[in-house]
Amino acid sequence: MTATEKVTRELTGIQSADIEAALDPAEADGIYRDSRECAALALFKGGYGLLLSPPTPRPKKG
Amino acid sequence: MEQSGTSSLLKGAVQDLASGVVSALRSGDHARAAALERADGEAEGLAPAAVRVLGADALLPSTLLHTPPLPDELAVFRKAVEAYPPGDDAAPTVLWSHWAMRHTLRRHDPGYVGGPRQEPDAAWLEGATWQVLTHQLAVLAALAVPGEDCAVARAARHRPVDVARGFVRAVRRRDWRQAAGAGRWLTLLEGVPQTLGLENGLDFVELMGGQDPLVALQVSAARLTRAGAFA
């Protein structure tokens, strides 16, 4: 690493750890986890309409 | 969760870079050169870091459209490869991303001889659940290039139905980045269920998540692949 690059890294604060974290992200939080329905949609009933359809409403707790 | 300043800075630079790549993919002209130059001009030190995060896709217009990258593009790309090698305990996606960049650099710069040609281990994908497989493939969507073969691509080819399931799951979870990455892989795979409606699914992903340049990049790559523009 050249002196200029070292200064630049210090100024931007970007380290290899930041890069590696960006390259190994955890899965984003989601709201829908019904694996059986995902399989069914992909294999048997897939299509624009069903992809567009909203997730099945879940009963509220409490 | 609040992002650190560094994290926000890097993410912004990556998004700017991805926007430039999308423009180049859509226009098919030398607009691609502006992507790296702009990133370099706005924050000189960020350009290699942003290129490292975007990975091989930083040169995707040249790869898919068979147009040679400009010397400045190659220089920044090479700098990213050399400045940010994987650490000793790097995750598989980090190792594969760097491998893909080295592979891409060799394709576009015959003078480049750095780094091992040997592929990283892909054992972590063997036996992965379809959810994990899809997530990891989406992270490594830069490897989904027509005509290219590697262990990650072979893992995807062996499980088209699982990737299709993962695509649907990502759409249903509104994880547009994962859906776009999985969709890009699916355009390369044989044995994808026709009932999936991939074409319409990609339209939907673009409609819902296309304002994110990283989503738009994957969808654009998928469309070019499907159209065979690379041939």
The percentage of residues in chain B with a pLDDT greater than 90, rounded to a whole number, is 74
CA distance B44 to chain A (A): 8
Which stretches of chain A score pLDDT less than 50?
45-46, 48-50, 52
Tens digits of residue pLDDT in B90-114: 999 999 999 999 999 999 998 888 8
* Alpha helices per DSSP H over B84-195: 92-108, 130-139, 151-158, 160-172, 176-186
Report how far residue A23's alpha carbon sits from residue A20's, in angstroms, rounded to the nearest whole number.
5
- Most B-contacting residue of A4, A10, A19 (CB-CB within 10 A), to test interface: A19
**Nearest Cβ partner of B45 from A12, A34, A55?**
A12
| Contacting residues of B for A47, CB less than 8 Å apart | 195, 197, 200
Asked whether residue B31 carries a pLDDT value surpassing 60, the answer given is no
Report how far residue B100's alpha carbon sits from residue B117's, in angstroms, rounded to the nearest whole number.
10
Does A18 reach chain B within 8 Å, measured CB to CB? Answer: yes
Q: What is the pLDDT of residue B40?
A: 46
Inter-chain residue contact A42 with B195, CB threshold 8 Å: yes
Does B112 reach chain A within 8 Å, measured CB to CB? Answer: no
Inter-chain residue contact A32 with B172, CB threshold 8 Å: yes
Tens digits of residue pLDDT in B107-157: 999 888 887 789 999 999 998 999 999 999 999 999 999 999 999 999 999
Of B88, B20, B89, nearest to B50 (Cα)? B20
Q: Which pTM value belongs to this model? A: 0.84
The one-letter amino acid at B130: W
